[in-house]
Amino acid sequence: MPSDLNYSPWFFALLASLATGLGGVLLAGLSLVLPERLLKKSLPLAISFATGSLLAAVFLDLLPEVSHALPGHLGFTAVLGGILLLHILERTLLWRHCHESQCGLHQSTRPFVLLGDGLHNFVDGLAIAAAFSASWAAGLAVTLAVLAHEIPQELGDFAILLKSGMSRGRALAWNALLSMSSVLGTVIGLAALGWANQFQPYALALSASSFLYIALGDLLPGHRASSSVGTFLGRLACMGAGIALIAWATASHHH
């Protein structure tokens, strides 16, 4: 845990964006060698863990930071505006975080898959920059949340690209290249926040909007497809594990 004396937002944020970008691609790539039956069982659990970590990062860390920095209802208004902005981006740019190989929106053409992946990673980089600019604890919570949902997202994109006829090596190379857009987002975010610190709470609000949009719009609906009580309880336990991890990361900052 870095002290305030040696804490460098640039160092930790860039390290985190590299870890989440390349780490997500590598872990997703390794998971492709798993037997298909095991993969089908483990992916929903990974998505459930990601859902819990994203929601926890929003409600236990990002929203408290935003409400502390922005008076009255301004912070929550900024989060609402961020959700509307993301919805507009999704409808105009076909930006969608699909985790199924049968996703009709992505099957239309490969460029939309790659564009969506690049934009998603770029926004993750902005979120990491804003969080580490606020505190190392906020940065750690956001990094863990990003990494948690990065794996199922990259795995879903891999499956779609492979199904479209792209070779495994080429799909891996494209995803690794696009993962670097998170670093670009981090650099731009840190530079912009350093130039105008008053925008930091709004950047955190946009991060919260992004996490809520992904968790509630793309990840959580998959729980409704649970066919048995055991499956539901297993997914619920993974959500709880994601929440517990972020809660630990957040609580450690206050002790």
Instruction: Classify residue 97 as left (phi > 0), alpha (psi -120 to 50) or beta.
Output: beta
Query: What are residue 68's phi and psi, to 5 degrees?
Result: -75, -35
HSE on the CB side for 153, CA within 13 Å? 32
Whether 185 and 17 have beta carbons less than 8 Å apart is answered as yes
Would you write out the chain's pLDDT as a tens digit for each of its 255 residues? 565 556 788 999 999 999 888 887 777 677 667 777 777 777 788 888 888 888 999 999 889 989 988 888 899 999 999 999 888 877 776 555 555 544 544 444 466 667 767 877 888 898 899 889 888 888 888 998 888 877 777 776 766 676 667 777 787 788 788 888 999 999 999 988 877 777 888 888 988 888 898 888 877 776 666 667 888 888 899 999 989 988 888 776 555
pLDDT of amino acid 194: 76
pLDDT of amino acid 105: 42
Q: Which two tokens stand for residue 195?
A: 């130039």
- Read off the pTM: 0.75
Whether 154 and 175 have beta carbons less than 8 Å apart is answered as yes
Q: What is the C-alpha to C-alpha distance for residues 135 and 122, in angstroms, rounded to an integer? A: 20
Whether 121 and 25 have beta carbons less than 8 Å apart is answered as no
pLDDT of amino acid 91: 74
- Ordered by start, the domain boundaries in the chain are 13-253
Helix (H), strand (E) counts: the chain: 11, 0
Burial class (CB in 10 A: 0-12, 13-18, 19+), 192: middle
pLDDT of amino acid 159: 67
Query: What are residue 2's phi and psi, to 5 degrees?
Result: -70, 145
CA dihedral 63, 68, 73, 79 (to 10 degrees): -30
Query: What are residue 32's phi and psi, to 5 degrees?
Result: -70, -20
End-to-end CA distance of the chain: 11
